[in-house]
Structure 1
Amino acid sequence: MKALLIVDLQNDFCPGGKLAVPDGGKVVPVINQLLDKFPLVLASQDWHPVKTVHFDKWPVHCVRESEGAKLHPDLKRKKITKVFLKGTDNKDDGYSVFEATNDDLEGFLRGNNVEELYLTGLATEYCVKATAIDAVEKGFKVFVIREGVAGIKEEDVEKAVKEMESKGINYINYSSI
């Protein structure tokens, strides 16, 4: 079984948001086109408390219950089975969706017989990369969909892609799905 995981496609990471990813909004139509290709669709949200050590490194963003923490308004949510909340503790960053606190992502995937995990979302060199690395280390076959992700700095995205590929993560084009 294969699953699509939409990583942090939230208002604060899209144009006009508090920590906007350049071209972050461009992934939404691609992700919407992918939804029907997967029997299981999951999403994650940064869900930070008002005060967290995470904000020592980053501008305040995705504070739980805020408008910025909501999923992008154009994302078609009907196919999303479950949303995993991460970064909820005031002492951690919560980059990887495997750090979600409202449910166990690994257990959920295994309980649904998922062997292949396809990632989309924001930002390539942070939360997408951390999630992809954790997934491959847990034994999943991992694919990052090139047109379904966006990053902050192109040179950092290139480094992240090389690192992911070196760990056995497949960086693929939408057309190959």
Structure 2
Amino acid sequence: MKSALLLVDIQNDFLPGGALAVAEGDAIVPIANRLMPVFDHVIASQDWHPPHHLSFAAEHDGFEPFQLTELDGLQQILWPVHCVQGTPGAGFASALDVAGIDHVVRKGSNPRIDSYSAFYDNDHRQATGLTEHLRERGIDALFVAGLAADVCVKFTALDALADGFDTTLIVDATRGVDMQEGDTDAAIQAMRQAGVRLADSHDLLAAG
């Protein structure tokens, strides 16, 4: 079985001090660096929003970040402005070993729809090409880590599973937003119940 590591959105705006900071988001960077050499192929996803993306609360008069609205028929959480194309916030964490990344998937560039998953936008209207990329390389097992567990990591892992990949979440290499207390734990359990395996980086490193 040929495996790949998928690092989800390890970008400056999701690290402490960033526009949409995930608590302890920086703690996963050294784990990701240690994991990369274990895998046949390493992919990183990158949130890549145009400046006026409609998922930003700033684009909606009277709304604050983390409030809900509707966008083209879909419920939408409104976010702080983050990961705008070409800005430092959209860049990968400076401590991330980008030389170990074989392929980058950018998502969220359509201003009218958000894209949590590294595979599809939130309404599955458009694919990123990641499934085809993996299949062309004979990869059938995907190990997912990154930010944030209860948003982009969750939807990425569920789409990977739905597209037929043997999918494993590396729990200690993932952190969550936890907008509501318990969101991260609930997301991990939802992934597990759907069929995503759970693993710890120490076990993978020992096996590798």
**TM-score with structure 1 setting the length:** 0.96
Q: What letter matches 1:59 in structure 2?
A: P
Seen in structure 2, the aligned counterparts of structure 1 residues 14 and 126 have a Cα distance that, compared at 3 Å, is same
**2:69 matched residue in structure 1:** none
Q: What letter matches 2:200 in structure 1?
A: N
1:98 to partner: Cα distance: 0.3
Q: What letter matches 2:130 in structure 1?
A: L
1:78 counterpart SS class: helix
Distance (whole Å) between structure 1 residues aligned to residue 52 and residue 186 of structure 2: 31
Matched, 1:175 2:207: no
1:116 to partner: Cα distance: 0.5
Q: What letter matches 2:56 in structure 1?
A: F
Structure whose CA Rg is larger? 2
Select the residue among 66, 69, 89 that pairs with 2:90: 69
Output aligned runs, 1:23-172, within 5 Å: 23-56=24-57, 57-99=78-120, 103-153=128-178, 155-172=182-199
Structure 1 outlier segments of 4+, above 4 Å:
100-103
Q: What letter matches 2:23 in structure 1?
A: P
Distance (whole Å) between structure 1 residues aligned to residue 45 and residue 201 of structure 2: 21
1:54 to partner: Cα distance: 1.1
Distance (whole Å) between structure 2 residues aligned to residue 137 and residue 146 of structure 1: 20
1:175 to partner: Cα distance: 2.2
Structure 1: runs of 5+ lacking an equivalent:
none
Distance (whole Å) between structure 2 residues aligned to residue 176 and residue 143 of structure 1: 13
1:92-134, Cα deviation, whole Å (9 max, x unpaired): 1110000277950000000011111001110000000000000
Q: What letter matches 2:118 in structure 1?
A: V
**TM-score with structure 2 setting the length:** 0.82
Percent of residue pairs identical = 40
